[in-house]
Amino acid sequence: MTQKPADIARLERYGPETDAYTLAIITDEDHASQVELEDGQTAWKSTLRYDRLLRQKDPATGKVRYHMEEIPEEDGGEHQLISLIAEGGRGAEFSELVQFGKRLITFDDRTGLVCEIRNENQLIPRHILMTGSGDEKFKGFKSEWATLKGDSMVIGSHGKNNQEEWVKILDRKYGLESINWHQNYQAMRNALGVGEQGYVTHEAAEWHPYRNCWLFFPRKISTSPFDEELDERERGGNTLIIASPDFTDIRTLEIGPRTPERGVSSFKLIPGRTDECIGLKSVEIGDRTETYLFCFDLEGNLLQEDTLIGRYKCEGIEIL
């Protein structure tokens, strides 16, 4: 029997009759991730939480709604992940979650570390991705988004500078290839009309194997140069990018109202219902951090408005 490609298998784990899912959501708490273990050793931690996502359809109107139910910590709804690997005194800043076959994979956007998560709280290091092409600088790749395409996992960064325009391709055995995606990132900037002075920050992307297209949901969109205070408060986007495989045909779609301080940090196609998606929006203003969960479809309809899930920053979501 021929094995299905990994991207198809991931989306066929559930059928269209499913209306309850288990979510995994991971935190990226930046400087706050550093901790001291009982033996005095310095380490870095991230929180992995599990929640339930429920889908309801109004029999009279046919309107679909999603809502989330928290799983209490005492019932296994929250776990601490501990890493002993850091760069520049920082680590465990996990920016995405992807189910790759039977393995749940996460990515440290500080060290470039790629880890499997096992037994709910065990980190198994599998790779260290290096910035840019991987050859010119001893610095971890700033992994920000990841998705499956065929039997490979594609991992990308913000796309704001030359080093962050490279993507990493990992196969099922963690074989690595680095590809310069400058033209693809530029095509998306052009489609958004940010001009030469502006920028686009990417943290959320999906390959849609049935529609044969890329879906990118930028966190920040600006027509003017980067200014940290304005970036934090004003540049959050609500524009979904839908691109052909080679990025020569791109259209955009607004999803719900724009809240300038909130930007999309992760989203996923819902298995068995691949016209519907779940996502996270993050707020990061000085020391204030928040995360919101929302749901939408690929026609531009909101299926759940922004719902606060925590006053900390989560940057990865996956349906288990």
- The reported pTM is 0.96
Predicted local confidence at residue 91, as pLDDT: 87
* Arithmetic mean of pLDDT, 188-212: 97
- In the chain, pLDDT over 90 holds for what percent of residues? 88
Hey, what's the torsion of the CAs at 141, 142, 147, 152, to 10 degrees? Answer: 0
Phi then psi for 72, rounded to 5 degrees?
A: -60, 150
Q: How far apart are CA 121 and CA 294, in angstroms?
A: 26
pLDDT one-digit tens code per residue, 7-17? 999 999 999 99
Predicted local confidence at residue 207, as pLDDT: 98
Predicted local confidence at residue 288, as pLDDT: 93
Q: How confident is the model at residue 31 (pLDDT cuts 50, 70, 90)?
A: low
Structural domains in the chain, CATH included, are: 6-319 (2.120.10.100)
Q: How far apart are CA 183 and CA 38, in angstroms?
A: 49
Q: In whole numbers, what is the pLDDT of the chain averaged over residues?
A: 95
Give me the half-sphere count of Cα atoms (radius 13 Å) on the Cβ side of residue 253: 16
* Arithmetic mean of pLDDT, 50-71: 95
Residue the block writes with tokens 């296994």: 76
Helices and strands counted in the chain (H then E): 3, 24
Hey, which bits of 244-287 come out as E strands? 250-254, 263-270, 273-285
Q: Which of 277, 271, 273 is nearest to 13 (CA)?
A: 271
Residue the block writes with tokens 């390959």: 207
pLDDT one-digit tens code per residue, 207-247? 999 999 999 999 999 999 999 999 999 999 999 999 999 99
**pLDDT for 200 beyond 80:** yes
Q: How confident is the model at residue 2 (pLDDT cuts 50, 70, 90)?
A: confident
What DSSP string runs through 8-64?
HHHHTSS-TT--EEEEEEEE--GGGGEEE-TTS-EEEEEEEEEEEEEEEE-TTT--E
Predicted local confidence at residue 94, as pLDDT: 93
312 membership: H or E segment, kind and range? none
Predicted local confidence at residue 6, as pLDDT: 96
Q: How far apart are CA 69 and CA 85, in angstroms?
A: 33
Phi then psi for 141, rounded to 5 degrees?
A: -70, 135
CB 31 within 8 A of CB 44: no
> Higher confidence at residue 75 or residue 280?
280
Q: Which residues of 59-76 are buried (b: 16+ CB within 10 A; e: fewer)?
A: eeeeebebebeeeeeeee
What DSSP string runs through 116-158?
EEETTTEEEEEEE-BSTTSSS-S-B----EEEEETTEEEEE--
CB 291 within 8 A of CB 312: yes
pLDDT one-digit tens code per residue, 234-282? 999 999 999 999 999 999 999 999 999 999 999 999 999 999 999 999 9
Predicted local confidence at residue 308, as pLDDT: 97
Predicted local confidence at residue 63, as pLDDT: 94
**CA end-to-end span of the chain, whole Å?**
25
Predicted local confidence at residue 177, as pLDDT: 97
Assign 264 to helix, strand or coil: strand
Predicted local confidence at residue 120, as pLDDT: 80
Structure tokens at 246: 């080679």
